[in-house]
Amino acid sequence: MLIAVAGLVLDQVTKAMAVAWLDPMNPPRILGGLVTFQLIRNPGAAFSMGENATVMFAALAVVMLVVVVVWLAPKVTTRAWAVATGLGIAGIAGNLTDRLVRPPGIMHGHVVDFIELPYFAIVNVADICLTSAAVTIVVLSLIVGRKGDRTAADASEESAPVQPDA
């Protein structure tokens, strides 16, 4: 749970800082322009798709958060899967929090995005957590295999009890 809480807190703190400090008309650029801090409020999903479906995205996020926390997280047995699960929870909860508490209102709130990557998208910490979770899950799935074959890393974790840190 630690990773989920840390990710959610980092997401919400960075969004509050972005809203307080960033001027949408004068976005700062860092790393030679590789990253721009461009503040936007996104009513839709990735790449601003589905701008008229904010309520649907919020409802879907509630369902996904419940599924992950109630059904998936209790089944986690290794640190690697705990990290992936924690990142997923942080990402879902971070953007859901925006949908619930930000203007224009409950279930209609716009997600704060502020990290602009060149030729790609404007994202936030919750999006980074979700993407990292997805990549980690794919890698773990490829390593573990279809039959649940364990990796050497998973086997070495067997000797030490896993504390739920997602």
Report yes or no on 56 lying in a domain: yes
What's the pTM?
Answer: 0.84
Q: Does position 144 have pLDDT exceeding 90, yes or no?
A: no
pLDDT value at residue 83: 97
Per the model's pLDDT, the better-predicted residue between 145 and 139 turns out to be: 139
Report yes or no on 28 lying in a domain: yes
The Cα 127–Cα 106 span in angstroms is: 20
What is the per-residue pLDDT across 40-89, written as a single tens digit (0 to 9) for each? Answer: 999 988 766 788 888 999 999 999 999 999 999 999 999 999 999 999 99
Domain count of the chain? 1
Q: What is the mean pLDDT of the chain?
A: 88
Give strand pairing partners of 112.
41
∠ CA 110-5-12, rounded to 5°: 30
- CB neighbours of 128 closer than 8 A, spacing ≥ 6? 91, 115
Identify whether 113 is a catalytic site residue.
yes
Report yes or no on 150 lying in a domain: no
- Helices 2-21 and 125-144: crossing angle in degrees, nearest 10, is 150
Q: What is the DSSP letter of 71?
A: I
List the structure tokens of 75. 């089944």
Residue 131 banded pLDDT, cuts 50, 70, 90: very high
What is the per-residue pLDDT across 96-124, written as a single tens digit (0 to 9) for each? Answer: 999 999 999 999 999 999 999 988 899 99
- Residue numbers of the domain that contains 8: 2-144
Report yes or no on 25 lying in a domain: yes
- 27 upstream amide cis, omega within 30 of 0: no
Q: Does position 147 have pLDDT exceeding 60, yes or no?
A: no
Per the model's pLDDT, the better-predicted residue between 43 and 6 turns out to be: 6
Report yes or no on 109 lying in a domain: yes
Q: Does position 148 have pLDDT exceeding 60, yes or no?
A: no
pLDDT value at residue 165: 57
Report yes or no on 60 lying in a domain: yes
Q: Does position 162 have pLDDT exceeding 60, yes or no?
A: no
Identify whether 127 is a catalytic site residue.
yes
Report yes or no on 49 lying in a domain: yes
List the structure tokens of 85. 């699960």
Residue in 11, 23, 98, 113 annotated catalytic: 113
Residue in 11, 127, 149, 165 annotated catalytic: 127
Report yes or no on 162 lying in a domain: no
